Chains A and B, each alone.
Chain A
Amino acid sequence: MNKIPSAFSLGIRRGGLEIRQFARQRESVVFTLLFPVILLAIFGSVFKDTIAPNVTFSQYFLAGMIASGLVNTGFQALAITIPLERDFGALKRLRGTPMPASSYFIGKAILIFVSMVFQILLLLGFGILFFGVEMPTDISKWVTFSWLVLLGSACSTALGIAFSIVPKSGRGASAVVSPIVIILQFFSGVFFVFTQLPSWMQQVAAIFPLKWLTQGMRSVFLPDSFASQEVAKSWETSKTAAILVIWLIIGVFFSVRKFKWDRD
């Protein structure tokens, strides 16, 4: 008798399968990957102002788009597609096999991470080519960037899986999830300069991860001199890491404890 494959190795296999499935849905690939680029093109063309010495709005917006890309590709996509999989009965079928829940979650995390990498490459390439955004040369900035992407993507995946229990059906999921994401984007300084928002909006945004991700991305792509323009007069790097970790733990907790495999 052979042993049952480990949860981790099945998770890797699920990741491969998820990517293959995703890559075959051409419309959603194009939409997911290109939509942020289109937004960047529109906003970057409309707002050409400099918001501080050596900082254009395009730069500011690029940082915000990368951060909100983490929320769109992870949280939003999962909170909408998992209820659909549940409606089809695909999740119930998986539940009937020896594949453990953790493998399913690992597979989703791999899918989100890989599509995030593609999206970031597109955004950066577009920013460099058309808006003259300069890439940081300091290695420590890239270190910050790497853990922000990893932690942000993990956090977004976990919260997306956890939130998938909220929509009653796959059809209604988008109506429940999308407004939350759009409001968060407005509150978190993606479309507007954060410090120009009313302070109650800033305070609400500070509870959720997106505000911290956008600020973290600004710390990577804007000059250090801009830190003084932030609400706290600094990049608050360790606070950002702490808040993302807390949300990751919350997401994993609810995913593991409350995940629904079946409609009823």
Chain B
Amino acid sequence: MSLIEVKGLKKSYGNVHAVRGVDLTIAQGEIFSLLGPNGAGKTTTVEILEGFRTRDSGSVSVLGFDPQSRGHESREWRNRIGIVLQNSADAGDLTVLETIAHFSGYYSNPRNVDEVINAVGLVEKENALIRNLSGGQRRRLDVALGIIGNPELLFLDEPTTGFDPEARRSFWELIRDLRGNGTTIVLTTHYLDEAEALADRVAVINNGVIFEVSTPADLGGRATSAATISWRDGEIIRSEKSDTPTELVAQLSTHFGGEVPELIVSRPSLEDIYLDMIGGTHE
């Protein structure tokens, strides 16, 4: 069952065509990641799905509802979604616990406040004022406020900016747990390793159109693209591209009589593929 259906979505700001005909289908229970450089139309697309912006043309259905309609049904709809924005902060004069408990009062079936504080790892900071939190801790509070309503659909915009590696790992666990409970997640991120670790499917958007939608492993023909084999041959490191890497490794193994010195077999990373697609430069 698809939770989000977008057809022919267009949006311009004056002469700037930010979104030029986007089609998307996002299924229930998946983690769907939207990748694209700044100014690609990513934020506009997501903000239309979140009901923050209106569209010029095309059709959009999110949980069976048109996000740009207003009125009481829009409250019912917002009751079922959670949003973690890129830049949102509060004045900081409330504690973590007060803020989360207050937001839980907005929803009909909120999650348990202590459970959420625990899930985002803010137990030791629950009585700290928001103004005294570090950047990463504030971000975790943002996530807590996004999930407190027990949403069926969660939007995450650059959720782990400012996280240390350990916090990122535990955040990923949290997101996988949410999916495990049936939550659908739309993730926009600059970190390709994050998309690779979390997403069931990724879409690459550039210049207002979708380039490709696929699993992270298959994106841009990544799974079937040529592998690079490198090894040490005496003083020099040799490297060769091959469509049949196993065969080459077998030959090398015969040549060296067993172990191939410093053998590495690699395929292009998601980042290589992505940069190729958006016309970026390789290092």
> Does A183 lie at the interface of the complex (its beta carbon under 8 Å from any beta carbon of B)?
no
Beta-carbon contact of B106 and A3 below 8 Å: no
Residues in A65-122 with C-beta less than 8 Å from chain B: 84-85, 88-90, 92-93, 95-100
* A10 neighbours in B (Cβ, 8 Å): 105-106
* B51 neighbours in A (Cβ, 8 Å): 96
Beta-carbon contact of B88 and A89 below 8 Å: yes
> Does B91 lie at the interface of the complex (its beta carbon under 8 Å from any beta carbon of A)?
yes
* B103 neighbours in A (Cβ, 8 Å): 97
* B216 neighbours in A (Cβ, 8 Å): none
> Does B173 lie at the interface of the complex (its beta carbon under 8 Å from any beta carbon of A)?
no
> Does A25 lie at the interface of the complex (its beta carbon under 8 Å from any beta carbon of B)?
yes
Supposing A3-B108, A97-B103 touch, asked if A92 and B78 sit within 8 A by C-beta, the answer is no
Summed over the interface, the residue pairs from A and B with CB atoms below 8 Å come to a total of 77
Q: Which of A5, A24, A84, A92 contacts B106 (CB 8 A)?
A: A5
Q: Which of B52, B81, B87, B108 contacts A2 (CB 8 A)?
A: B108
Beta-carbon contact of A92 and B75 below 8 Å: no
> Does B247 lie at the interface of the complex (its beta carbon under 8 Å from any beta carbon of A)?
no
Beta-carbon contact of B90 and A2 below 8 Å: no
Q: A65 CA to B81 CA in the complex, in Å?
A: 47
Q: A97 CA to B149 CA in the complex, in Å?
A: 9
Beta-carbon contact of B94 and A98 below 8 Å: no
* A2 neighbours in B (Cβ, 8 Å): 108-109
Q: A89 CA to B75 CA in the complex, in Å?
A: 20
* A84 neighbours in B (Cβ, 8 Å): 91
Q: Among the interface residues A25, A84, A92, A93, which one has the most CB atoms of the partner chain B within 10 A?
A: A93
Q: Which of A5, A17, A93 contacts B88 (CB 8 A)?
A: A93
When C-beta atoms are compared, the residue in chain A nearest to B89 turns out to be A88
Residues in A1-42 with C-beta less than 8 Å from chain B: 1-5, 10, 13, 17, 20-21, 24-25
Beta-carbon contact of B145 and A13 below 8 Å: no
Q: Among the interface residues B52, B88, B94, B103, which one has the most CB atoms of the partner chain A within 10 A?
A: B88
Q: A84 CA to B93 CA in the complex, in Å?
A: 14
Q: Report how many residues on chain B are interfacial, defined by Cβ distance under 8 Å.
A: 28
Beta-carbon contact of A89 and B89 below 8 Å: yes
Beta-carbon contact of B89 and A98 below 8 Å: no
Supposing A20-B94, A92-B52, A96-B52 touch, asked if A1 and B88 sit within 8 A by C-beta, the answer is no
Q: Report how many residues on chain A are interfacial, defined by Cβ distance under 8 Å.
A: 26
Beta-carbon contact of A4 and B107 below 8 Å: yes
* A5 neighbours in B (Cβ, 8 Å): 105-106, 108
Q: A1 CA to B89 CA in the complex, in Å?
A: 31
* A92 neighbours in B (Cβ, 8 Å): 52, 85, 88
Residues in B42-91 with C-beta less than 8 Å from chain A: 50-52, 75-76, 78-79, 81, 83, 85, 87-91
* A93 neighbours in B (Cβ, 8 Å): 83, 85, 88, 90, 145
Beta-carbon contact of A88 and B107 below 8 Å: no
> Does A236 lie at the interface of the complex (its beta carbon under 8 Å from any beta carbon of B)?
no
* A96 neighbours in B (Cβ, 8 Å): 50-52, 78, 81, 83, 85
Q: A97 CA to B107 CA in the complex, in Å?
A: 8
* B108 neighbours in A (Cβ, 8 Å): 1-5, 98
When C-beta atoms are compared, the residue in chain B nearest to A7 turns out to be B75
Q: A85 CA to B92 CA in the complex, in Å?
A: 11
CB distance from B197 to the nearest CB of A (A): 26
CB distance from A263 to the nearest CB of B (A): 9
* A21 neighbours in B (Cβ, 8 Å): 91, 93-94
Q: A119 CA to B106 CA in the complex, in Å?
A: 31
When C-beta atoms are compared, the residue in chain B nearest to A24 turns out to be B93
Beta-carbon contact of A98 and B107 below 8 Å: yes
Excluding A90-B89, A97-B78, 8 further A-B contacts by CB distance (< 8 Å) are A4-B107, A17-B94, A25-B93, A88-B90, A89-B85, A89-B87, A93-B90, A98-B76
Q: Which residues of B contact A (CB under 8 A)?
A: 50-52, 75-76, 78-79, 81, 83, 85, 87-91, 93-94, 98, 102-103, 105-109, 129, 145, 149
Give me the 7 closest cross-chain CB pairs, A-B, nearest first.
Answer: A89-B88, A96-B83, A24-B93, A98-B78, A93-B88, A98-B79, A2-B108
